[in-house]
Amino acid sequence: MKRTINMLQEFSLPLIAGVLVALVWANVNHHGYEHFLHYPIFGHDFTILGHELNFHFLFNDIFMVFFFGIAAVEITQSVIPGGSLNPISKAINPLMGTLGGVLGPVGVFFLLCAILPLDSVLTEGVTRATILNGWGIPTATDIALAWLVARLVFGNKHPAVSYLLLLAVADDAIGLGIIAVFYPDPNHPVEVYYLGLTVLGMIISFAFRKMGVKSMWLYLLFGGVLSWLGLIMAHLHPALALVFIVPFMPADTDPSHHHDELFEDEEHDHSTLVDFEHKFKLFVDLGLLGFGIANAGVVFSNMNVVTWIILASLLIGKTVGITLFGFGAQLMGSKLPDGMNLKSLVIAGMVAGLGLTVALFVAGEAYTHPGIQGAAKMGALFSAAAAVIALVFGKLFKIEKMD
């Protein structure tokens, strides 16, 4: 059973299964699929701060809190002593690559929006400004899937795997900021004063840390709940709640106890931060089945020019941006890790084009028009092609695996 669960986690099979179920269901019985997503579990009279408790809300506004919480753990571990981004000199090249991995897709997105005919999608309620609002969709990388594909291309011990992992973590940190700042609830203006609750949650978490509180649950029940309430009442996305709390959880700062791989067990680290990751990693990995079902149900007829803009922004923008900025940093004196060269950097950029999970999530926030949102989600789903492209170029470039 343990080996089976490890395989499910390592190969992201729940997410893949959820995506396939949603695609088949939405195309066979779209009405039934939508009814399932938005059916009020406890009736229309039961709401959480004005939101009906349905399958879509359960996964996008509650479950995703823990998904981004786990991402926040990776980011926090990377910047503390012994982490892969500490000291900062070790992080300059991957951080430059990250910058390219954000600016590249955004640049390609705006370029394609400028040169491609958008008239076919400019219907009632859809303007050019509506389309342009999707610029944030191709900026982030699916950490787990990118890590998996990188190991298939490079082997377990190749420095490009760690490089890509650092890039993906920093990339998603920027993605979290983009969601919070640029994609608030379009139907309700932001009420900033409610963010005082989020700040209060951060203050309480900071106080817990200073008092030496080790219980992960106290950070979640006080800091996490207050942060979630502050965001949802301010009409910002509550899925980011734990991003503001996780960094306050006590962490092991002994450099010898840290690792560079996403799924490697930290047997020497018994800190609150790692306890949270261990307690919720399986829940998150298996729960991605529900997230896939809730977000990937796109009717194939929804494909239009937006689909190809999102896809090209991910595949071309990530590859070009990461390659140019990573190689440029090398020329300026910030070397690539030993064992990496221009070929492996190019392939790392290709792998980073896997935007699946986060791109699906951002697409749901960037576009409210069903047709445009569906088309953008198809582009995010098709970015899975990055895995095949990277594997093919790995063979063509004769990348030697390091296991």
What DSSP string describes 119-171?
Answer: GGG--TT--HHHHHGGGGGGG---HHHHHHHHHHHH-TT-HHHHHHHHHHHHH
Kindly report, residue by residue over 135-174, the tens digit of the pLDDT. 999 998 887 788 889 988 998 778 888 788 778 877 877 8
Phi, psi values for residue 48, rounded to 5°: -115, 100
Per-residue pLDDT at 263: 47
Per-residue pLDDT at 148: 82
Residues 6+ apart with CB under 8 A from 192: 234
Q: How far apart are CA 137 and CA 373, in angstroms?
A: 11
Per-residue pLDDT at 240: 86
Per-residue pLDDT at 84: 63
Q: How far apart are CA 146 and CA 172, in angstroms?
A: 12
Q: Report, as ranges of residue numbers, the positions in the chain whose pLDDT lies below 70.
A: 83-85, 185-186, 254-269
User: No. of H helices and E strands in the chain?
Assistant: 19, 2
Kindly report, residue by residue over 226-278, the tens digit of the pLDDT. 999 999 999 888 888 998 999 999 987 765 555 544 445 455 567 899 999 99
Q: What is the DSSP letter of 267?
A: T
Residue 122: CB atoms within 10 Å: 13
Residues 6+ apart with CB under 8 A from 253: 80, 81, 82
Helices (H), 269-355: 272-295, 305-312, 318-331, 342-351
Bridge partners of 51, per DSSP, are 48
The three-state (H, E, C) secondary structure of 364-399, written as one string: HHHCCCHHHHHHHHHHHHHCCHHHHHHHHHHHHCCC
Domains of the chain: 25-180+238-396 (1.20.1530.10)
Please state the pTM of the whole predicted model.
0.79
Q: What is the four-CA torsion angle of 374, 378, 380, 383, rounded to 10 degrees? A: -170
**Closest alpha carbon to 309 in 130, 100, 112, 103:** 112
Structure tokens at 122: 């400019």
Per-residue pLDDT at 358: 79
Q: Calculate the alpha carbon distances from 99 to 23, 260, 343 in Å.
A: 33, 21, 19
Per-residue pLDDT at 232: 92
Phi, psi values for residue 366, rounded to 5°: -75, -35
